[in-house]
Structure 1
Amino acid sequence: MKFGLRYASLGRYANGPAALELAQAAEAAGFDSIWTVEHVVVPHGYQSRYPYSETGRMGAGLEDFPIPDPLIWLAYIAAATRSLKLGTAILILPQRNPVVTAKAVATLDHLAGGRRVLLGIGVGWLAEEFASLGIPFEDRGPRTDEYVAAMRALWSQERASFAGRFVSFRDVFCRPLPAGGRIPIIVGGDTRAAARRAGRLGDGTFRPAAGRWSCWTRCGAPPSRRDAIRPTSRSRSRRRPIRPRSRRSPGEA
């Protein structure tokens, strides 16, 4: 069993010196991984229900608190560590340009020495945040599926091409490539849709509401992909147990 630190980029660790201190201490103590979170903006007075809290609000109800960009924060601590895995828990993928994101993630992997990045992704839940970014909330599920396929094409093909509903490109070079031509993708969420997405597309699944522990576990895969799947990793969480949703909710994607 391997352990990681979750919510590592929040609170006092949003600041540079404290972030480095935390990452180096975690590595020295034998932790396997460190994980960030993401929200580009938190709209004041949002009405969307946070699915991982009994109150329906995140951050103990706070709205105004620092949430650094996860990839930039991880790049910062990567330079001060040697083996600590660098995870996002999660990156809200449908809010991002997949080509730019593929480039940024591959660059992080390359600069960190290779095979250190664990890309946790999710579809998001905060409709008001999507509206602030000018991105449709309703199609975030199929958008996420397509973005995963497009990013994997950029990471694995020498001259990449992809044609989809939301993103298309033809005969492009995207360098540097990640080590081994892939980044492990961990699919977050506690809904049936998230579980199905993890089974179809993921190298693992991230369960954010598993009592005191949040964990990601590897998914089954064809033999050609098994060498890219990481062992089970668990990370500390202070959440109370939340009952997984058994029915599809209106906001599920």
Structure 2
Amino acid sequence: MKFGLAFASSIAVGHESAMEICRRAEAAGFESLWGGEHVILPSTIDSRYPYTADGKIPAEPETPIPDPLIWLAFAAAAAPSMRLGTCILIVPQRNPLILAKELATLDQLSGGRVELGLGVGWLREEFDALGVPWERRGARNDEYIEAMRALWAGPHAEFHGDFVDFAPVTCSPRPIQERIPVLVGGDSEAAISRAVRLADGYFPGEGDAERLGGLVARVRHGADAAGRDPNSIGINAMFGAHMRNPQAGVEQLRQIGVDRIMVPAFAFAGSGGLDRLSEFGEQVIQQVG
């Protein structure tokens, strides 16, 4: 079982705190570090957050959310053995040619350790503030992934779609990895379909084991129906209520077929948090991982 430290960037913003959490996580046995994304948090939010019962995002306007790619570039040097991922990057909000360059550069700097966890977004007010159309954001996301993969495949790439259109161009450097892994986030039918069609991994937000098992089963069934090996889609899952009994939680997720457990860094925020992180490594990762 692999363990990722999710949203690490949101509890370690400054130089010293970011350096320390990277070093502690690496020593504890975490395999990967992950940064989340919101460019801005609107002062008034009517959009429903999909992962809480009341539909409210568990964050305040001043909650720090550093740019994940810049933070991960720092982490690449601070933790040279760990993989680096986004959980999640809101791809339809970004220019795909610029994003392709940024991800390829990070992959080069890190020695081929980048993973792109993505989502299509839930916060319409953020799209409005950025001037990005809310409608058809799923189709926009999928086309952006295709365009970036074309740029990464080799020189003189061209692409002609509904949202991206360019004559032959070259984007250099290209990633070290032959294929930067793409993880699709979300619990919806559209997210499951997207994971089956274009992803290397699936990362639902569901924390309940029974419902999570149902989502995993639907992904596997969809892959099988599409003629794809279900095992080619890695399963990532949040470690929420499982923190009450971590050892049992690991075994429960292992039985469901989870490949990587994403432990929220918020569990290690505040006074003594990094000591608790180290203890988690000793008592959980190194014992049952």
TM-score (norm 1): 0.85
One-letter amino acid matched to 1:29: A
Shift of residue 223 of structure 1?
11
Structure 1 runs (4+) deviating above 3 angstroms are: 217-226, 228-231
Q: CA–CA distance in 1 between the matches of 2:29 and 2:106?
A: 22
After superposition, residues 214-253 of structure 1 pair within 5 angstroms as 232-237=259-264
One-letter amino acid matched to 1:77: A
Is 1:87 the counterpart of 2:114? The answer is no
Shift of residue 30 of structure 1?
1.2
Q: CA–CA distance in 1 between the matches of 2:20 and 2:77?
A: 12
- In structure 2, list runs of 5 or more residues that go unmatched: 236-258, 267-289
1:170-192 per-position Cα deviation (integer Å, ceiling 9, x unaligned): 22111111124320000000101
One-letter amino acid matched to 1:236: V
Contact 2:7–2:265 (Cα < 8 Å) also in 1 = no
- In structure 1, list runs of 5 or more residues that go unmatched: 240-253
One-letter amino acid matched to 2:128: A
Change (3 A) 1:170 1:223: farther
Q: CA–CA distance in 2 between the matches of 1:180 and 1:86?
A: 13
Shift of residue 102 of structure 1?
0.6
Shift of residue 198 of structure 1?
0.5
Secondary structure of the 2:51 match is: coil
Change (3 A) 1:99 1:194: same
Aligned to 1:171: 168
Q: CA–CA distance in 1 between the matches of 2:167 and 2:91?
A: 22
Aligned to 2:54: 55
Equivalent of residue 134 in structure 2, options 113, 134, 137: 137
Secondary structure of the 2:9 match is: coil
Shift of residue 229 of structure 1?
7.0
One-letter amino acid matched to 1:63: P
Change (3 A) 1:186 1:132: same
After superposition, residues 199-210 of structure 1 pair within 5 angstroms as 199-210=196-207
Equivalent of residue 152 in structure 1, options 149, 154, 158: 149
How many positions carry a matched residue from both structures? 235
TM-score (norm 2): 0.74
Contact 2:92–2:144 (Cα < 8 Å) also in 1 = yes
Contact 1:184–1:230 (Cα < 8 Å) also in 2 = no
1:116-169 per-position Cα deviation (integer Å, ceiling 9, x unaligned): 111000000000000000111111010001001001001112321111111111
CA RMSD of aligned residues (A): 2.8
Is 1:161 the counterpart of 2:132? The answer is no
Equivalent of residue 75 in structure 1, options 73, 76, 83: 73
Q: CA–CA distance in 1 between the matches of 2:44 and 2:27?
A: 41
Is 1:189 the counterpart of 2:186? The answer is yes
Contact 1:184–1:229 (Cα < 8 Å) also in 2 = no
1:15-55 per-position Cα deviation (integer Å, ceiling 9, x unaligned): 22111111111111111111110001111011001101112
Change (3 A) 1:160 1:225: farther
Secondary structure of the 1:108 match is: helix
Q: CA–CA distance in 1 between the matches of 2:35 and 2:261?
A: 14
Contact 1:27–1:81 (Cα < 8 Å) also in 2 = yes
Contact 2:37–2:66 (Cα < 8 Å) also in 1 = yes
More helix by share: 2
Secondary structure of the 1:9 match is: helix
